[in-house]
């Protein structure tokens, strides 16, 4: 039977104490980065395997963090996860990723599964459904830090990191108006969810502030899917007085709208301008690049992770929950640019 490598073997080889090796393997900041790197390289060379169960029993922590997203096949959520991992991996944490497909029952199942595996925290973006606070309160009762990002619920003592959806939508609509658009439609998605409600309100306020007529028939609830965008665009184009612009709460439904507009033989942006939301990679790589609102997803993920780490450190000295709001940026491209900007 091959003898397993221990921290004492690593210590003997490097002429260090076992305590120093242990601290380095657990990313203790008191050990220099150079020494930590040397110890980890030696551990790899000697095929050292850390006993995670023993580590968890000793520290009272599993060093696992759950991340729940509506879907992972979105660049936005994938980028948020990347930001979370960038902050947590160097601290010795592992990330368990779950997706809900916007189904409340899957969201509840994910939360219960993560709690049963004794994760040290849950970072999540909630589903589109109007779920009660009961499941989220069960997390707090277990004294597990909960952080909301992007989509959140208003729950006391829970920190969150979001973007200013109202301002992002207002700026997008304002840009369309400055480009000469006067009859602007909006794909709103489910307004029971705060992010889509705020995008709708930002759009509506920009219409009102510029003295244009707000027309309820131009607002269509549209899922964040290409097909849904096509269907909504079809409805708009069948109106006696169709719009000259569409501001979509999603890049995917914006793409669907573009496909349907082209199928009707209309030109973009000459006949109808289109703006999306999220700045998915395809928006800039298409021949007709799509104007979109960027949400800084990597930064959002990093800040969500830092909020979690703050809460872990604050178990002794409890800190007040933080509500961080990032400012979005309108990325202007061909799909909305009727006039040359100065």
Condensed to tens digits (0 to 9), the pLDDT of residues 6-31 reads 888 888 888 988 888 888 887 777 88
Q: Is the pLDDT of residue 316 over 90?
A: no
Residue 96 has pLDDT above 50, yes or no: yes
The whole-number pLDDT of residue 318 equals 60
**CATH number of the 165-295+330-336 domain:** 3.40.50.2300
pLDDT at 150: 94
Least confident of 50-59, 189-198, 284-293, 313-322: 50-59
User: What is residue 23's predicted lDDT score, i.e. its pLDDT?
Assistant: 84
Which residues are CB-neighbours of 294 under 8 A, at least 6 positions away?
278, 279, 328, 329, 330, 331
Sign of the four-CA dihedral 183, 184, 186, 191:
negative
Q: Which of 104-113, 164-173, 278-287, 313-322 has the lowest mean pLDDT?
A: 313-322
- Pick among 3.40.50.1820, 3.40.50.2300, 3.40.190.10, 3.40.50.20: CATH of 60-163+296-326: 3.40.50.2300
Share of the chain above pLDDT 90, in %: 61
pLDDT reported for residue 342: 43
Contact 118, 93 (CB under 8 A): no
Nearest to 145 by CA among 333, 337, 327, 318: 318
Domain 7-50 has CATH 3.40.50.360: no
Mean pLDDT of the chain: 89
Q: Which range, of 44-48, 57-61, 227-231, 238-242, averages the lowest pLDDT? A: 57-61
| Prediction pTM value | 0.80
Dist. CA 188–CA 222, nearest whole Å: 6
Among 188, 179, 150, residue whose Cα is nearest residue 295: 150
In this prediction, residue 162 has a pLDDT band, given cuts at 50, 70 and 90, of very high
Task: Break the chain into its structural domains and give their ranges.
Answer: 7-50, 60-163+296-326, 165-295+330-336
Least confident of 82-86, 138-142, 225-229: 138-142
Instruction: Give the whole-angstrom CA distance, residue 82 versus residue 170.
Output: 28
- What's the pLDDT tens digit per position in 98-144? 999 988 889 999 999 999 888 999 999 998 766 667 788 788 888 89
Q: Matching CATH topology for 60-163+296-326 and 165-295+330-336?
A: yes
3-class SS string, the chain: CCCCCCHHHHHHHHCCCHHHHHHHHCCCCCCCHHHHHHHHHHHHHCCCCCCHHHHHHHHCCCCEEEEEECCCCCHHHHHHHHHHHHHHHHHCCEEEEEECCCCHHHHHHHHHHHHHCCCCEEEECCCCCCCCCHHHHHHHHCCCCEEEECCCCCCCCCEEEEECHHHHHHHHHHHHHHCCCCCEEEECCCCCCHHHHHHHHHHHHHHHHCCCCCCHHHEECCCCCHHHHHHHHHHHHCCCCCCCEEEECCHHHHHHHHHHHHHCCCCCCCCCEEEEEECCCHHHHCCCCCEEEECCHHHHHHHHHHHHHHHHHCCCCCCCCCEEEECCEEECCHHHCCCCCC
């Amino acid at each position: 039977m091959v003898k397993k490598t221990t921290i004492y073997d690593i210590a003997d080889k490097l002429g260090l104490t076992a305590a120093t090796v242990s601290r380095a393997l657990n990313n203790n900041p008191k050990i220099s980065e150079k020494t930590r790197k040397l110890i980890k390289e030696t551990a790899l060379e000697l095929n050292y395997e850390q006993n995670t169960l023993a580590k968890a029993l000793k520290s009272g922590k599993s060093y696992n963090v759950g991340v729940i997203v509506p879907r992972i096949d979105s660049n936005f959520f994938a980028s948020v996860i990347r930001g979370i991992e960038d902050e947590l991996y160097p601290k010795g944490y592992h990330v368990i990723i779950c997706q809900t497909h916007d189904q409340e029952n899957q969201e509840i199942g994910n939360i219960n599964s993560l709690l049963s595996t004794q994760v040290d925290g849950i970072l999540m973006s909630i589903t589109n459904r109007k779920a009660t606070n009961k499941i989220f309160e069960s997390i707090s009762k277990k004294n597990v830090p909960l952080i909301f990002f992007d989509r959140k619920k208003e729950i006391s003592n829970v920190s969150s990191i979001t973007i200013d959806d109202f301002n992002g939508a207002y700026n997008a609509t304002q840009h369309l108006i400055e480009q000469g658009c006067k009859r602007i439609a909006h794909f709103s998605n489910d307004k029971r969810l705060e992010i889509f409600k705020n995008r709708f309100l930002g759009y509506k306020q920009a219409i009102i502030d510029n003295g244009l007529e707000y027309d309820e028939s131009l607002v269509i609830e549209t899922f964040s899917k290409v097909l849904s965008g096509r269907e909504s665009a079809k409805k708009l184009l069948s109106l006696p007085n169709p719009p000259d612009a569409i501001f979509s709460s999603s890049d995917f439904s914006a793409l669907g709208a573009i496909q349907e507009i082209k199928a009707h033989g209309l030109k973009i942006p000459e006949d109808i301008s289109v703006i999306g939301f999220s700045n998915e990679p395809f928006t800039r790589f298409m021949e007709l690049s799509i104007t979109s609102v960027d949400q800084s997803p990597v930064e959002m993920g990093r800040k969500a992770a830092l909020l979690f780490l703050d809460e872990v450190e604050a178990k002794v000295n409890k800190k007040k929950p933080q509500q961080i709001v990032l400012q979005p940026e309108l990325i202007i491209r061909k799909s909305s640019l009727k006039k040359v900007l100065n």
